[in-house]
Amino acid sequence: MIVNQSLTKKTHMKKTAQPGKGLASALSLVNMNESRRGNALKAQAHGDFQPVWQRFPAEKKQFPPTEIHNRSCPVSNLENIRWGVLGLGWFGEVHADTLSTTPGIELAALCTRTESRLNEFGDRYGVDRRYTDYHRMLEDDSIDVIGIVTHIDDHRDIAIDALEAGKNVFLEKPMAPSVEDCDMIIEAARRGGGKFMVGHVCRFDPRVTLAKQAIEEGRVGKIISMHARRNLTKAIGLQVCDSISALFGDGIHDADLMLWFSGAKAVSVYGQEIHPDKSKYPEGGFAMARLDDGAVCNIESVWYLPETTPYAIDARMEVIGTEGAIYINCGEAGLEIHDKEKTHLPDTIYWPTYMGGRHGALPDEFRYFADCVRYDRQPDRITPEESRAAVELMVAAGESARTGKIVEI
């Protein structure tokens, strides 16, 4: 079924000046040559299955096996969660590909303005419900979750429309290009009848989760300093930086993790950016933030590594406390492949493909949100307010880089 209408966006307020792109990480660009699959036969939903993320940090939570109802779609805990993907750019493709083989979830609908791409994906995954107008997709009562994977500048209007329609909404990060837009989305989520979560995939990385658990256990004492880098190759930077800066695009991951680890708020930030090439936005950026508990955070994101680098992504973080330290290395994922071209260190954590499906942090994140819908509970792995705080810090860092001044938050 194809609904052919031009996508007419409802405007809630004047657009902000800062564009962006809703990417979780540029890792997918390294993996786009992977084989494609049709929509896999789904296993029965989890029932009382509970992923590790719901058990964090301590005791296992129990959710009664009762049928729940929300304003948008009745869902039984014995049914697959029917998920519609809105936006089929390169990361929207990763979403669709991952959802198509994630147990307990059915890839039920697709939406993009480009009909040829819509048909390509619909045929590939065996999805009949196809839309070129997202408003028509929101009218489909058979869809339990709307997953928004569009350009960041479109996040506010689409998310508000979906939430006001009573839908359960999974919105890719960054939440929006401005704090004001974030506030409007959060208010719509409070008014709506569905569940709402912003996708910060790094919170579902087991290395990050174990680090958070060690911090919660007091093993490093009080955090006084955090330093992170998240760097990618020049080719990826030149492809992505016409849509978003390196600092906002990937720095927001580490901004979120630092605020999550510390439990503190940013009070000031000084930013600098580098622009060595002809992209619309800077290919590199740096931010130094002071938190309200006295800790200092340093964030580095440079999308200009040479093509000979073996890393899919060179991402590392150091956390120093009064009684210890933590080192997270997300660049070396435990596998090296040496072929005639170069050494490869492929992704083994976020969404690697093997044994006929996608695995790792991204499908874990999807299952977590699906379980929130299934058991009628608000997501608390990351809250909308926490996602807003990361946007606030990165927007202030960008302002500081443009003005050359420290920005108070």
Same domain, 212 and 174: no
Provide the CATH number for the domain around residue 314. 3.30.360.10
Read off the pLDDT of residues 340-398 as tens digits, 9 standing for 90 and up.
988 888 889 999 999 989 999 999 999 999 999 999 999 999 999 999 999 999 999 99
Within a domain: 213: yes
Read off the pLDDT of residues 70-96 as tens digits, 9 standing for 90 and up.
434 455 566 899 999 999 998 999 999
Same domain, 38 and 172: yes
According to DSSP, the β-strands at 284-291 and 266-274 are antiparallel
Same domain, 230 and 183: no
Provide the CATH number for the domain around residue 374. 3.40.50.720
Same domain, 190 and 47: yes
Higher pLDDT pick, 48 / 68: 48
Same domain, 151 and 280: no
Phi, psi for 189 (deg, rounded to 5): -65, -35
Same domain, 306 and 231: yes
Least confident of 17-21, 115-119, 125-129: 17-21
Average pLDDT of every residue of the chain: 85
Parent domain of 282: 206-348+390-408
Provide the sign of the torsion angle of the four alpha carbons 180, 185, 187, 188, taken in this order.
Answer: positive
pLDDT over 90 percentage in the chain: 72
Closest to 337 measured CA to CA, from 363, 311, 357: 311
Q: Residue 323 corresponds to which tokens in the numbers above? A: 């009684």
Same domain, 183 and 245: no
> Any idea what the Cα angle at residue 356 is, between residues 353 and 362, rounded to 5°?
40
Read off the pLDDT of residues 236-271 as tens digits, 9 standing for 90 and up.
888 889 989 999 999 999 999 999 999 999 999 999
Within a domain: 44: yes
Start-to-end C-alpha separation, the chain: 48
Same domain, 147 and 184: yes
Within a domain: 73: yes
Instruction: Say what the pLDDT of residue 309 is.
Output: 86
Exposure pattern of 80-93 as b/e (b: 16+ CB <10 Å)? bbbbbbbbbbebbb
Same domain, 133 and 218: no
Within a domain: 383: no
Res. 282: pLDDT tops 60: yes
Q: Which whole number is the average pLDDT over 21-29? A: 43
- Total-model pTM: 0.82
Domain tally for the chain? Answer: 2
Same domain, 188 and 210: no
According to DSSP, the β-strands at 407-408 and 266-274 are antiparallel
Q: How distant, in Å, are the alpha carbons of 97, 128, 144, 232, 396 from that of 80?
A: 17, 17, 9, 36, 41
Same domain, 137 and 223: no
